[in-house]
Structures are given as C-alpha cells and as structure tokens.
C-alpha cells in the first residue's frame, strides 16, 4: 500500500513539474524578447464598416454603462453598427429596449436582437448576429467591460495584413483593489496577458481571442466555420480553428480595456469552472488536429500546454489529499530518506509561476512593489480552486452537455448564482482545509518547517474559498439592496 501511495504521489509531482517547465519557457522568451520594440501601429486612414456585438444575458445592473461606453466610441456613425444580442429572461430586455429606442432617436445604427431561445448560448447569439452584421469587422464586448472612445481607431490599424483574423486587447481592472480575492485575480489575469499572450504572440505560437475586447475580421470567422456552441470556450475554439487555417491573431499588449473582476468567491468559481470545462472541451476537440498539423514541435508543445493546462488542478487536488500522509511517512521514518530527497527535486518547478507573476507586475505597473504580497493570494486561491475546477474538468471531458452559467457581476443577480446554494463543494473545501491545517500543526510540532509554506497556502486557499462561498450564499444582498448600494457608492 505504501508503495502505491508513493507511486501515485510521484506521478502527481511529475504532472505538476511538466506544466511548471512551461513557466520557465515563458521566462526564457521574456528575456529573449525583452528589448524587442513594440509594433509600429499606423494610424487609421480609412474607416471600414464595423459591427459591435454585445452578447448579454440578465445584465440589468451593468447594461447602462456598457451601452453608454459603446455609443461614445469615437468612430463615424455611418460606419458603425451596434448589435445588442439579448438572450435575457428578466427585466434586462425592457431596459435594453428603452435604451436602444433612445439611441436610435440620436441616429445611432443600433439594434436590439432577440432570438427567442438560448441555443448555443453566447456562441449561438454571436453567430445569429454575425449572419445579420453589416460590418466587415466585428468588435465584441461582454457586459462587464468598458471600451474607451479610441478603441476602434487604435485597434483596427493592426489589421495591416490580409492574413490577420483578429486583434485582441489586454484586460485592465476596474475593481482590483476591492479585496485580496480581486487583487489575486488581477495578478493572475495580468500574468495571462502580459506574459502568456504577449510571449506566445511574439514567439509565433497559437494564441486565443479572450471572448471580449477584441475585433474579428468577419471573413475569417466565416472561413473557419462560424461560431460553434459545442464547447463552453467558444472564443478558444474559434481561435484554434482560425489559426489551423493559417490565419493570424494579433495581441496588443500596449492597449487595454477596463473590466470588472468577479467580486465574490461564488462568482469567481463560476467563471473559473466555465473556463476550465470549456478549455478541456476545446482540447478534446482540437488536440488531435494540432498534433497532426505542420506547425513546429515547440509550437505543438505550447498548444498542448495551452489546451490542457487545467489538468494542473487535478494534480493539485491529488497532492492535497496525499500530502498529509506523505508528511506522516517522513516524520515517522517509515519511508527511506532518499525518496524525500528525490521528491524535493520537483520543488524547483514551484518557483517558476511566482516569478512569472512578479515579472508581469513589474512590466505593467510603476508601483508593482506594493502588489507583490498579493502573489501569495494567487497561489493559495489556485490551490483552493482545485476541488471545483477538478469537477469541471471531469465534466468537460466525459460529459459534452453544456450548461452555460454566466459570471454574476458585482451587484447582479442570476438564477445560476442562486441555484448553486445546494452545492456541497464549499463544505468539501472546508473539510480539506481543516485536514491540511491539521497536517500543518503536525509538521510544526515535529519541526518539519520546510513544509510549512506549502501546507499554509493549501489550508488558506481551501478554507478561504469555502468560507467565502458559504458566506455569499447566506448573506447575499437582495436585488433591491444591491441596487441601492451601487447607486449610493
């Protein structure tokens, strides 16, 4: 039995080490491209016809600011079409109808589009709108983002080659300083954009459209077969189909769009679970073709990591379950010391991601030093997500039935958010947190202090996400209370 435990534990370490090597690869590219000049983007000379698509579902608390930011885009009205792709089943539709009527009176070419169903969810709405779109280019914004007036004029010149299918902007954050949770999310997303997206683009690897804050060439979407609703990551799915057909996606690290981070633990987990499930579905769909393609071997490795990276959460969960037992075997000298010397080798991989997070903060912010302590939150919450994300990954691989759960915005209320109140995941997280904390006390008593940071991150991540999820369910403000609190803020 002990041998089996050691074999499983070692396999978990190997999996995590494999993905951690990717962090070092990106760090290598970071220094390789560090002195590379930014793209010299030309100014827009002609104004192509652009359709702005706003896919929404029950966004009554944020729809006003979204439409306001879009109609304030600095672009000729005669060359701009706005589609509000509204799949809502609450009063959002009435609000949209009133706003659209008001903007139409101001001579905006804006349309309130209702399909009568949610078939295909966001992908279905985007495809439905695409078939009616007048523009040769399609800009997409989710409800929690606020494009600046110069967005189109700044981004469209990046279509400087007929092979450019899309252009993606970097995300910035409206509410990153609200809590440790939002600060940790901001750092995680900064790392994705400032390190992963930028370096993949510079190295010529596949990158992905992030679902919002980007512009597509309509011809490229059609050439790749349009939007598909068979995964929960319709953006990643289309990105790979487009690039496998030799189109290119440009990432603009020099231009950002402000967006709202999930304000509480339940919203955060809903978002992360959807991304995890959708990504593994995209891996199942595209990996065989990617591996058979003619792209370089290093690009195939990068695509493999890109599409399967959420497997990390399964390994993290396994490590959480086995680590207290491994600690016991070490303290009681039941297993020879050479095994633990061997296992310690894999800790090299644990340094890559924190250093990446540091580099992304230094790259983006003059005051990066004050943000560094929040890197601990990124690590802890990533560990804490291992229960809910593991569940999402297993569902995504074995169950292809999709149920799209939108991320509740700050101040929003959705049926998806309320219906999760019977989930036992937060209670499992708390039990695991207590289990790991007991192991933490055990190692302190037995003066195995080298293990303290590892167990501390785990216990905090599980206990924090579990507690905050239960707190959100028990003490969530009602819709009227939320509306008042937003209006008074």
Structure tokens at 254: 């020099």
Catalytic residue (one of 86, 87, 142, 144): 87
CB atoms within 10 A of CB 169: 26
The arrangement of strands across the sheet holding 164-173 comes to 110-113, 80-86, 50-56, 137-140, 214-217, 164-173, 248-259, 145-146
Q: Which residues of 314-351 are buried (b: 16+ CB within 10 A; e: fewer)?
A: bbbbbbbbbbbebbebbeeeebeeeeeeebeeeeebee
Pairing of strands 137-140, 50-56: parallel
CA distance 144 to 142: 6
Three-state secondary-structure class, residue 24: helix
Q: Is 235 annotated as catalytic?
A: yes
CA distance 155 to 215: 8
Catalytic residue (one of 86, 142, 144, 235): 235
Pairing of strands 248-259, 164-173: parallel
| Bridge partners, residue 248, by sequence | 164
Alpha helices (H) in 311-424, listed in sequence order: 311-331, 337-344, 352-364, 368-371, 375-384, 386-398, 415-419
Q: Are 19 and 312 in contact (CB under 8 A)?
A: yes
Structure tokens at 188: 């995680």
| Bridge partners, residue 144, by sequence | none
Q: Are 249 and 242 in contact (CB under 8 A)?
A: yes
Structure tokens at 217: 């060439």
Closest CA to 13 of 315, 348, 342: 315
Q: Are 305 and 296 in contact (CB under 8 A)?
A: no
Length of the chain: 489
**Cα dihedral 428/433/434/436 (nearest 10):** 120
**39 DSSP 8-state letter:** P
CA distance 174 to 21: 32
Q: Is the dihedral of CA 338, 342, 347, 348 positive or negative?
A: positive
Q: Is 94 annotated as catalytic?
A: no
Structure tokens at 211: 């679902």
Place of tokens 């007991």: 438
The catalytic site residues sit at: 87, 235
């Amino acid at each position: 039995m002990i041998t089996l435990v050691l074999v499983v534990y070692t396999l978990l370490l190997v999996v995590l080490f494999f993905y951690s090597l990717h962090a070092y690869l990106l760090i290598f590219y970071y220094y390789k491209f560090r002195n590379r000049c930014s793209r010299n983007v030309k100014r827009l000379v002609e104004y192509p016809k652009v359709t702005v698509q706003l896919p929404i579902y029950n966004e009554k608390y944020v729809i006003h600011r979204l439409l306001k930011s879009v109609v304030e885009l600095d672009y000729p009205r005669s060359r701009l079409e706005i589609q509000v792709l509204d799949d809502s089943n609450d009063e959002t539709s009435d609000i949209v109808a009133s706003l659209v009527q008001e903007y139409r009176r101001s001579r905006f070419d804006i349309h309130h589009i209702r399909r009568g169903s949610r078939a295909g969810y966001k992908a279905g709405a985007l495809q439905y709108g695409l078939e009616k779109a007048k523009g040769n280019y399609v800009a997409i914004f989710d409800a929690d983002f606020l494009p600046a007036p110069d967005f189109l004029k700044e981004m469209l010149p990046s279509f400087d080659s007929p092979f450019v299918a899309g252009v993606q902007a970097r995300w910035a954050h409206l509410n990153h300083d609200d809590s440790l949770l939002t600060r940790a999310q901001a750092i995680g997303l900064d790392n994705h954009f400032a390190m992963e997206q930028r370096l993949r683009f510079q190295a010529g690897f596949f990158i992905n459209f992030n679902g919002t804050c980007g512009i597509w060439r309509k011809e490229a979407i059609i050439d790749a077969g349009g939007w598909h609703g068979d995964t929960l990551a319709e953006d990643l799915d289309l990105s790979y189909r487009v690039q496998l057909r030799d189109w290119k996606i440009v990432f603009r690290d020099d231009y950002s769009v402000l967006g709202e981070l999930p304000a509480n633990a339940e919203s955060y987990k809903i978002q992360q679970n959807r991304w995890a499930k959708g990504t593994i579905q995209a891996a199942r769909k595209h990996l065989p073709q990617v591996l058979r393609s003619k792209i370089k071997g290093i690009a195939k490795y990068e695509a493999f990591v890109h599409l399967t990276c959420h497997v990390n959460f399964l390994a993290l969960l396994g490590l959480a379950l086995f680590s207290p037992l491994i600690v016991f075997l070490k303290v009681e000298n039941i297993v020879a010391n050479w095994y633990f010397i061997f296992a310690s080798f894999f800790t090299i991989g644990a340094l890559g991601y924190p250093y990446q997070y540091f580099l992304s903060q230094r790259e983006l912010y003059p005051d990066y030093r004050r943000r560094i302590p929040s890197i601990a939150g990124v690590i802890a919450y990533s560990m804490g997500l291992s229960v809910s994300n593991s569940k999402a990954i297993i569902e995504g691989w074995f169950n292809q039935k999709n149920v799209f759960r939108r991320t509740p915005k700050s101040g929003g209320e959705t049926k998806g958010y309320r219906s999760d109140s019977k989930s036992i995941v937060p209670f499992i997280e708390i039990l695991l947190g207590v289990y790991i904390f007991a192991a933490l006390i055990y190692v302190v008593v037995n003066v195995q202090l080298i293990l303290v940071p590892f167990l501390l991150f785990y216990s905090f991540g599980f206990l924090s996400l579990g507690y905050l999820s239960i707190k959100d369910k028990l003490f969530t403000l009602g819709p009227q209370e939320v509306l008042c609190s937003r209006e008074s803020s």
